[in-house]
Chain A
């Protein structure tokens, strides 16, 4: 009997904490539906009149469809490139056990220690001189910054895939690239999902790098556009909140459908 009571108490505390955790989202959404004066008159209550006006205005001001497309494009292409090229590199490094491979692997791992701020100034200057401060340049930079952790994770998995598989395929006449693409890469799928999730969360939310690389109107990602938008409407909470709500909807939808994989991916990436 005592045990049941204890479990009930833990459940109750968990429930209260969950409400507390969701409160900021709740307050943001509820206030996004209010008229401007209602936010000032009654911040905590429900809207007196529900209005959709804030959302239509924020949608327009954020140029939401185009901004969303930019985010999808940059995250999507970057992540696909990171997955394929990192898996290839990790494959080469794990199957060739030489001093050169160990050295390169060490360099990739060591690069994880370098914080972005310590390379950002020369990086932006040099890519500026090359005329590469654009989307293509940004995607290339994401490959540079994202490949280290990805190679590290793939390398760990590849050690567990027996080389006899490679040998068998080679005897059947497959070349190196075919062995990788048809035999190894499919076996890496669970790790590819983890690598994809980790990189997508990072790139989707990244603000500083794109703010330095793609300034041009019309090519902003969601965080970039939102930063300008928020600066513009800083005392107009009804619009700012509607914009914030809009911009997290894609993430919430993705989380709703893939939460199991996301949480597993995060755990794998963090613990290794």
Chain B
């Protein structure tokens, strides 16, 4: 296709039409609506920065935001530690490695909504039963406090996402040349030293990929939040994505919700652009 002729545009039309109508036009309108008092119907009036100013004094939204940040930081750490450990177990030369990989990855295929419901049962009924059986107080009352709601969400997302992150680490671990490890062994390096000085540096790019993947996943989480805690108790476990959906479709505060959505977009885009920047920089260094 040297020249851009009819065929060129014909090949592009379906996806271009979909992208423009589904993503680009709503994005532009979204920016515009965030400066108005739009309520979903009729002609909106321009009210300048009022929505944004209100946002920064909105206790509920700021709490939601803070909770999402705490959740994301904890999720990144826990998921990556578990994901890397699972990858190390699965890539060691044990016989059951294929079976284990299949098992660890399984939760990732099932939707966050369903997994959240399953864990609601585990936390409320099963933990309660374990608490009664053992007399350990810590097993009782899960999901009824902010604290247990927080850790409940962490456990749920870690169980779901660790297998995914494991797959990424496996891809990098398998690219570590066997000869290097053997050579280090002959030189007398123990298994910790081999991990620290050979495997770790070669797998370092996987950390960037995994850290950003877990960051953007956990920051955007909605389904798991909805089905596990639904924000309870008293909206204290509500995250940003859910807060936006609620103020748009439950409270019908469309323009205000859209201002939140714009802030959300700016943060997610900034995180992703940082990753692109880091990747480019490393490519140059290599």
Residues in B with CB closer than 8 Å to A175 are: 7
Q: Which of B59-67, B112-120, B144-152 forms contacts with chain A?
A: B112-120
| Residue from the list B100, B108, B264, B268 in contact with A18, Cβ < 8 A | B100
Residues from chain B with Cβ under 8 Å of A248 in the complex: 110, 114
Docked CA distance A262–B164 (Å):
11
- Partner of B11 from A92, A226, A259, A266 at Cβ < 8 Å: A92
**Complex: chain A residue closest to B104, CB-CB:** A21
A263 touches B105 (CB 8 A): yes
Contacts of A21 in B (CB 8 A): 103-104, 106-107, 159
Determine, out of B69-77, B85-93, B192-200, the stretch whose residues face the partner at the interface: B85-93
On chain B, the residues within 8 Å of A98 by CB distance are 4
Which B-chain residue is minimally distant from A141 (CB atoms)?
Answer: B22
- In-complex Cβ contact of A122 among B100, B223, B258 (8 A): B258
Contact across chains for A14 and B90 when beta carbons are under 8 A apart: yes
Least CB separation from B2: chain A residue: A96
| Residue among A93, A116, A117 with most chain B CB within 10 A | A117
Residues in A whose Cβ lies below 8 Å from that of B15? 85-86, 88-89, 108, 143, 147, 151
Min C-beta distance of B98 to chain A, whole Å: 9
- Minimum CB distance partner of B7 in chain A: A176
Give Cα A112–Cα B86 distance, bound, in whole angstroms.
29
Tell me whether B130 and A44 are in contact (CB under 8 A). Answer: yes
Indicate the member of A7, A206, A248 with the most B CB atoms within 10 Å. Answer: A248
Binds B, one of A55-63, A188-196, A236-244: A236-244
Instruction: State whether A89 touches B14 (Cβ < 8 A).
Output: yes
Closest Cβ–Cβ distance, residue A59 to chain B (whole Å) = 16
Known A121-B258, A143-B15, A212-B249; contact A226-B109, beta-carbon cutoff 8 A = no
Within 8 A of A (CB), among B215-258: 220, 222-223, 226-227, 241, 244-245, 248-249, 254, 257-258
Residues of B within 8 A of A (CB): 1-4, 7-8, 11-12, 14-16, 18-19, 21-27, 29-30, 33, 40, 86, 89-90, 92-97, 99-114, 117-119, 121-122, 125-126, 128-130, 133, 159, 164, 167-168, 170-171, 209, 213, 220, 222-223, 226-227, 241, 244-245, 248-249, 254, 257-258, 261-262, 264-265, 268-269, 272-273
The 4 closest A-B pairs by CB, nearest first: A144-B22, A205-B111, A118-B265, A144-B18
